[in-house]
Amino acid sequence: MFKYKVYGGNKLYGKLEVDTAKNALLPILAGSIMCDQKVIIKKITYYEDVNKMIDILNHLGVTVKKTEYGIEIDSSSICKNEIPSMLSSTLRASIFFLGPLISKFKKATIYYPGGCNIGCRPINIHLDSLKTLGATIYDKHGYVCVDGTKMKSGFVHLPFPSVGATENVIMASLFLKGKTTISGAAKEPEIIDLCNFLNAMGAKIVGAGTDMIEIDGITNLKSVTFTPINDRIIAGTYALIPLITGGEIEIDGVNPNHILPLINIIKNSSCKIHILNDKIVVQSDKRVNGFGMVETLPYPHFPTDLQQPLCSAATTANGTTVIVENLFENRFKHVPNLVKMGANIRIKDRVCVVEGVKKLLGADLQAEDLRGGASLLLASLGAEGYSIISNADIICRGYFDLDKKLKSIGANVEIIE
Ligand code: EPZ
């Protein structure tokens, strides 16, 4: 376990390169086991959650070779279809192995997934969808046991556009003879990327990015070399820095179309933002305006994963911001830390009202979840004095070498034990 020590208060200037998308890499790594030939994933970023997925691949008997251009995954020797609690309970994305293991072995046993404690995060939509296609499922001491021997292609409606459930049903139906249709599907860019990856191996998936996805069953997949998209949540996190510290940051390797709701908020906050095809430049030399009402909703609306970083930017804005967190029932755990720094925030159920104050003061803080931890790091960059952020390891689940990157734009950040 380590901590970040941050001396805040100075304006930041420079360029930040966006890493590969964590939430594209995780389902792609799981999906790679469905191919009996070699799969190469380029430009891989070794977030902690990626490392945990690689641990699961090794447990299953898959050979993973790290090279200077990415990783080579060889699933020809895969020999297990069960994932124990010590591996599965460390992250949410372990559940992404359910569909691929069913496609591969017809049966799968996975301990209930873990992940950031931002809500109860059930998997009922995943399991109900598999049952609709003929799977039989039973729970045993925290394990989910799925028998997919009688599964057939068919029609599945998701009652909520769950990202993970959409990805699992796509992968569980890849080898089912005939056409499987998913209605009410999630539309996140990471789902499009997963389907591009699977189609590059020979799958027949159409409609990714819409709420109606069709999968025509095939018999096997062929080798592929694939480069996933970049991380829109990291891009958005970086874009919020000048709103907190002042200065000018160029963010390279971002698809502006993936973060349009945030770009809109930044534009309306009296911040300057220049948009080029794969980069954005955000510049602020005075206190930004409050953001008004911001609701988190499934893509293409404002993403829940940027709610906490945005909250930090709202704490010193000139005006009021009302944040409604519609996706997760426990995603305000960063707020008590911000209040300790002098922020004026009130919470009522899923609504968080932020009245901007002139400045925050550094304090001893505790990261409770991945994006909440990132929001505390952002807030401490703008705060007067120094902050210590404990449990900082949790931030490494979805940001890579963040301290080095922040130092490169002039931030005073160091890791302490
Ligand atoms: C993915 O989680 C992301 N994680 C999350 O990012 C992201 O916040 C979330 O999608 C929403 O965009 C990965 O891709 C690894 P959901 P996922 O299923 O798939 C409820 C981050 O910080 N639900 O779309 O778990 C659920 O409780 C992480 O990178 C059910 O009720 O999210 C939530 O309220 C955090 N039953 C809502 O749906 C289910 O079976 C959205 O969840 C599944 C979900």
Give the chain as a 3 state SS string: CCEEEEEECCCEEEEEECCECHHHHHHHHHHHHHCCCCEEEECCCCCHHHHHHHHHHHHHCCEEEEECCEEEEECCCCCCCEECHHHHCCCHHHHHHHHHHHHHHCEEEEECCCCCCCCCCCCHHHHHHHHHCCCEEEEECCEEEEECCCCCCCEEECCCCCHHHHHHHHHHCCCCCCEEEEECCCCCHHHHHHHHHHHHCCCEEECECECEEEEECCCCCCCEEECCCECHHHHHHHHCHHHHHCEEEEEECCCHHHHHHHHHHHHHCCCEEEECCCEEEEEECCCCECCEEEEECCCCCCCHHHHHHHHHHHCCCECEEEEEECCCCCCCCCHHHHHHCCCEEEEECCEEEEECCCCCECCEEECCCHHHHHHHHHHHHHCEEEEEEECHHHHHHCCCCHHHHHHHCCCEEEEEC
Task: Give buried/exposed letters for 176-190 (b at 16+ CB in 10 A, else e).
Answer: beeebbbebbbbbbb
Final residue before a domain boundary, out of 218, 251, 278: 218
Residue 224 covered by a domain:
no
pLDDT for residue 116: 81
Using a 6 Å cutoff on CB, does residue 160 contact ligand 1? yes
396 and 255 within one domain: yes
- Closest CA to ligand 1's atom 7: 305
Q: Is 116 a catalytic residue?
A: yes
For 338-349, what is the mean pLDDT?
98
Give tens-digit pLDDT for 83-101. 999 999 989 999 999 999 9
* Alpha carbon distance 119, 161 (integer Å): 17
Using a 6 Å cutoff on CB, does residue 23 contact ligand 1? yes
- Closest CA to ligand 1's atom 42: 162
Local confidence band at 115 (pLDDT 50, 70, 90 cut-offs): confident
Give tens-digit pLDDT for 349-381. 999 999 999 999 999 999 999 999 999 999 999
Using a 6 Å cutoff on CB, does residue 26 contact ligand 1? yes
* Alpha carbon distance 199, 69 (integer Å): 22
Local confidence band at 120 (pLDDT 50, 70, 90 cut-offs): confident
The single residue of 35, 79, 116, 352 carrying the catalytic annotation is 116
Final residue before a domain boundary, out of 196, 218, 240: 218
Please state, rounded to an integer, the average pLDDT across all residues of the chain: 97
- 346 forms bridges with which residues in the sheet? 353
Domain with 133 in it: 22-218
- Closest CA to ligand 1's atom 18: 162
Using a 6 Å cutoff on CB, does residue 305 contact ligand 1? yes
Residue 225 covered by a domain:
no
Query: pLDDT at residue 251 above 90?
Result: yes
389 and 312 within one domain: yes
pLDDT for residue 1: 87
Using a 6 Å cutoff on CB, does residue 375 contact ligand 1? no
Local confidence band at 13 (pLDDT 50, 70, 90 cut-offs): very high
* Alpha carbon distance 46, 25 (integer Å): 10
pLDDT for residue 388: 98
Distance from the CA of 298 to the center of ligand 1, in angstroms? 10
335 and 354 within one domain: yes
Query: pLDDT at residue 63 above 90?
Result: yes
123 and 49 within one domain: yes
Residue pair 351/311 in contact (Cβ under 8 Å)? The answer is no
Residue 33 covered by a domain:
yes
Residue 261 covered by a domain:
yes
Atom number, ligand 1, closest to the C-alpha of residue 115:
35
30 and 132 within one domain: yes
pLDDT for residue 220: 94
And the tokens for 208? Answer: 């990714």
181 and 32 within one domain: yes
- Closest CA to ligand 1's atom 16: 162
36 and 8 within one domain: no
305 and 241 within one domain: yes
pLDDT for residue 417: 85
Residue 52 amino acid letter:
K
Question: Probe ligand 1: pick from 90, 116, 160, max atoms within 8 Å of CB?
Answer: 160
Residue 313 covered by a domain:
yes
For 339-346, what is the mean pLDDT?
98
pLDDT for residue 284: 96
Using a 6 Å cutoff on CB, does residue 328 contact ligand 1? yes
Query: pLDDT at residue 386 above 90?
Result: yes
- Report yes or no on whether pTM surpasses 0.95: yes
pLDDT for residue 117: 85
- 64 forms bridges with which residues in the sheet? 73
26 and 8 within one domain: no
Using a 6 Å cutoff on CB, does residue 126 contact ligand 1? yes
218 SS3 class = coil
Residue 213 covered by a domain:
yes
Distance from the CA of 121 to the center of ligand 1, in angstroms? 7
Atom number, ligand 1, closest to the C-alpha of residue 123:
40
Question: Probe ligand 1: pick from 146, 162, 308, max atoms within 8 Å of CB?
Answer: 162
What's the distance, Cα to Cα, between the start and end of the chain in Å? 7
Using a 6 Å cutoff on CB, does residue 124 contact ligand 1? yes
CATH of the domain at 266: 3.65.10.10
Residue 223 covered by a domain:
no
Atom number, ligand 1, closest to the C-alpha of residue 164:
19
266 and 146 within one domain: no
10 and 82 within one domain: no
99 and 87 within one domain: yes
State the total domains in the chain. Answer: 2
